[in-house]
Amino acid sequence: ILVQLPLPKPLDEKAVLAAINPDKDVDGLHVVNAGRLASGLPALIPCTPLGSMILLKETLGDLSGKHAVVVGRSVLVGKPMAQLLLAADCTVTIAHSRTKDLPAICRQADILVAAVGRPRMIKGDWIKPGAAVIDVGINRVPFDDPEKAAQGKTKVVGDVAYKEALEVAGSVTPVPGGVGLMTVAVLLQNTVTAAKRLNGIEA
Question: What is the per-residue pLDDT across 24-45, written as a single tens digit (0 to 9) for each?
Answer: 999 999 999 999 999 999 999 9
Mean pLDDT of 89-108: 95
| CA quadruple 105, 111, 115, 117: dihedral sign | positive
Tens-digit pLDDT profile for residues 129-178: 999 999 999 988 888 777 777 777 888 999 999 999 999 999 999 999 99
Which parts of 57-110 are beta strand (E)? 67-71, 91-95
pTM score of the predicted model = 0.91
Q: What is the greatest pairwise CA distance in the chain?
A: 57
Tens-digit pLDDT profile for residues 166-194: 999 999 999 999 999 999 999 999 999 99
Residue (of 71, 78, 75, 128) closest to 102 by Cα position: 71
Mean pLDDT across the chain:
94
Give the residue with greater pLDDT, 107 vs 139: 107
3-state SS track over 127-189? CCCCCEEEECCCEEEECCCHHHHHCCCEEEECCECHHHHHCCCCEECCCCCCHHHHHHHHHHH
182 in Cβ contact with 55 (< 8 Å): yes
- CB environment 105-122: b (16+ within 10 A), e (fewer): bbbebbbbbbbbbebbbb
